[in-house]
Every structure is written in structure tokens, then in C-alpha cells.
Structure 1
Amino acid sequence: MSSVVDGVLLVEVFVTLFVIMDPVGTVPIFLTLTSGRSPATSRRYAWQAVAVSFLVITAFAFFGQQILSYLHISLPALQCAGGLLLLLVALELLTGNEQEPKANQDANVALVPLGTPLLAGPGAIVATMLFVEGIDSGPELSAVAVGIVGVHVALWAAMRYSLPILKVIRDGGVMLVTRIAGLLLSAIAVQLVADAVRAFIAGEG
């Protein structure tokens, strides 16, 4: 399998995006946004949100550099901005001050805010662009592609089966997972900012 897919990179891509996009932490937000909707509508929103997120992530994977060049934005600048935004989200998760957005019954919440920016946010976009930038071979390309698809499958499964998941882990489990995700997310955010600062110092920004 190593000749087809870079296993180490696959794990790195999947774990990084899994922590950033947080499928388990998406469950309570998804339940809030889809409250009062029929089960069929909730299931439809689950795959629509994942489809929107996948399209956004894929678009930046292929055309992110061109978009940034057109706007005269360097990758370290976007990386630093994404890290700072992630740090704010991480602090809210750690302190329990996160605000769950309320859904308008007439709005398709699968597009906004679920698909973007909750799933395909700046952190996931920057991380994907960095992984794509480092691709030097076919196995690495396959690893990044499979990792991205795998995370989106996990996101769909988490939202699709959100009610059973909530019954299993209960509110206490959700809070525990949220705190752990906040800690890991804060570490990722600090690393993004630190890498951006190093890039600026090296003259890459």
C-alpha cells in the first residue's frame, strides 16, 4: 500500500483535519441548528453541509495559491489569520463560552454556517493548502486526497447519526470531548501562528 498511498502522511492529514474540523464537536451544534426539522430534512442537511465543505476545501486545494496571489495575500498571512481565529474558537471551547448559532427556519443551515465556516473554516483551508504545497509524488497526492475524503466521511457520519451519538456520550461526554478538542485546537492554532511568524522572519511572507 505504501507504493500507492503514503501511510504516514495519510494519518497526519486525517488527524490534523479531524481535530480542526471536529466531527464529534459538530454534533451539538448540528442538533441545535436542525432543531424542529424533520429527520429527513436533518439527514439532507448533513450531506449538503459535508458537500459544501468538501467543495470549498477542494477549491482551495487546487486554486488556493492563485486566489491568494490575485488578492496579494501570502500563505503565511492566511496561516497567521487562521491560527488567530482558531485560537479564539479554542478559547471559547475551553472556557465554555461558545455561542451556538440559532437557525432561521427558512434558511438552509447546511450552506451557512454549517458547510462554511464551521466545517470549511480558515484552519482547515490553511492546513489543506499546506499539505498540498508539500506534495512531491503520487503516493503523497493520494494520501492527502484520501485523508480529506476520510475526514468528510467522518463528518457526515457524525451529523447523520447525531441523535444516537448524543444518547451514547450524553451531555457530560460532549463537554469532555469539547474541552479536549479545545486544548488540541489551541495547540494547532499556536503552531500555525508560530510557523507563520517563522515564515515572515525568513522573508517568505
Structure 2
Amino acid sequence: MDLPFALDLALAVQAFVTLLVIMDPLGNVPVFLALTATDTAARRRRTARHAMTAAAVIVYVFAFFGTQILASLSIGLPALQAGGGVVLFLTALEMLKGDILVPSAAEGVNVAVVPLGVPLLAGPGAISAAMVFMSGSETGPLDVGRQLTVALAIAAVLLVVYLTMRYAELLERLLKDNGIHLVTRVMGMLLIAISIELVATAVQAYVAGASALP
């Protein structure tokens, strides 16, 4: 039986790679281990699940409803792309610096929610990227198939993030600090390219819109 919609493989790969680079699960391994240094193995696994859940809620809410909020403020897709590109560029610069800073846990708040879930995983970069992928085009919103494609890509990234935290100790032993720093810097370079592409696309849209005016 044919499905009433089709998944977009190219869009899925693009969304998956972009969000994976932004969330940088390997780069967050030292942070996760530092924040859960006194926890048992069982508690670390629970923290990993809760952090993934918190990130999922935030990313999905903004992915599906963020553009509607912006639309109510008369903010169009090019502005969203340009803003998202700038945020991603700043995130990439932090990744290229390679400094691993462990944020302080908020008093009375589960570290799985703050700072792991938000803002380390579901930060401004991930939220902006999810909104851009889910926002469709100037000709109209994404169809059901493409919305499902983006949603599945987000789910795949969150699964990778969870597995990375779940096996953080093993990954740290295998990669060591130098390996983690190297991967983070490479992802930072990729993210810079992605951010520039977003800004360039937004500029092209603005130029095309201006040239279409009488």
C-alpha cells in the first residue's frame, strides 16, 4: 500500500548532520562525566535519559510551533535563516576554541534538565536549526512527508546523543581528551560552513524579494 506522503532522504540527511554537529555529543562527554562524577552507573543512565527527554521536548516544541510564533510577529523565513546562521556561527566559534567549560548546576534543578538538556543539547543553535528545517519555503509550509522527515531526523540525533551519554565513560577511554577535542574542532568547522550557507540563502532571498518589487 502506498503511503499518502513521501519521506525526503536528502532533507533527512541534511537535518541529521546539521543537528548532530550542533549538539556535538562527543564534545559534551567530558561535561556529562563531570556533572555526574559522584553518581552511580544507574543514576548516570537515568540522567542521560532525562537529559535527552528534556532536549527532545524543547527542540520539538520549537520545531513545530516556533515559526508560527515568529509569523505572528511578522518575521519571515529569510530573517529566521539569517538569525539562525548567526547563532550557529557563534556556536561554531566556541567549538573551535576547544575549551571545555563545565557549567554549574542550577540549585534545586536536576542537572539532566539544566544544564545538560538545556542549553547544552537544546541550545539556541539546535532550536534555530530545527525551526529552519521545519519552516518550509516561501511558497508554503512543509508538507506532511517533509515534516515527518525532519521529526525523524531529530529523533535519530537525540538517539545518538543518548547513546553517547550512556556510554560516555567508554568513549572517553577510547578517544581520550585529544580525540574529543579534535572531533569537536572538526564539527566546529563544518558548522561554520553550514551557518554561512544559511546566511547566504537568506541574503539571496532578500535580494530576490527586493528585485521583484515595482
Category of TM-score, reference length = shorter chain: 0.7 to 0.9
Q: Secondary structure of the residue that 1:24 maps to in structure 2?
A: coil
Distance 1:201 1:111, change over 3 A: farther
Shift of 1:156: 0.6
Shift of 1:18: 1.2
Following the alignment from structure 1 to structure 2, what is the Cα–Cα distance between the partners of residues 202 and 123? 26
Assess if the C-alpha contact under 8 Å between 2:105 and 2:115 holds in 1: no
Alignment of 1:75-154 (within 5 A): 75-103=77-105, 106-134=108-136, 136-154=142-160
Q: 1:29 aligns with which of 21, 31, 41?
A: 31
Q: Name which of structure 1's ranges 193-202 and 87-96 shifts more when overlaid on structure 2.
A: 193-202
Aligned residue pairs total 204
Following the alignment from structure 2 to structure 1, what is the Cα–Cα distance between the partners of residues 147 and 31? 32
Letter in 2 for 1:121: G
Following the alignment from structure 2 to structure 1, what is the Cα–Cα distance between the partners of residues 100 and 195? 17
Q: 2:48 aligns with which of 46, 49, 57?
A: 46
Q: Tell which structure's C-alpha radius of gyration is larger.
A: 2
Q: 2:204 aligns with which of 175, 198, 201?
A: 198
Distance 1:137 1:82, change over 3 A: closer
RMSD between aligned residues: 2.6
Distance 1:104 1:42, change over 3 A: farther
Percent sequence identity over aligned pairs: 47
Q: Structure 1-normalised TM-score?
A: 0.84
Q: Secondary structure of the residue that 2:27 maps to in structure 1?
A: helix
Alignment of 1:7-18 (within 5 A): 7-18=9-20
Distance 1:202 1:34, change over 3 A: farther
Q: Secondary structure of the residue that 1:164 maps to in structure 2?
A: helix
Following the alignment from structure 1 to structure 2, what is the Cα–Cα distance between the partners of residues 64 and 27? 29
Following the alignment from structure 2 to structure 1, what is the Cα–Cα distance between the partners of residues 72 and 149? 28
Distance 1:82 1:100, change over 3 A: farther
Distance 1:53 1:139, change over 3 A: same
Distance 1:178 1:201, change over 3 A: same
Runs of 5+ unmatched residues, structure 1: none
Following the alignment from structure 1 to structure 2, what is the Cα–Cα distance between the partners of residues 7 and 180? 24
- Match for residue 172 of structure 2? 166
Q: Structure 2-normalised TM-score?
A: 0.81
Following the alignment from structure 1 to structure 2, what is the Cα–Cα distance between the partners of residues 98 and 14? 24
Q: 2:188 aligns with which of 182, 185, 188?
A: 182
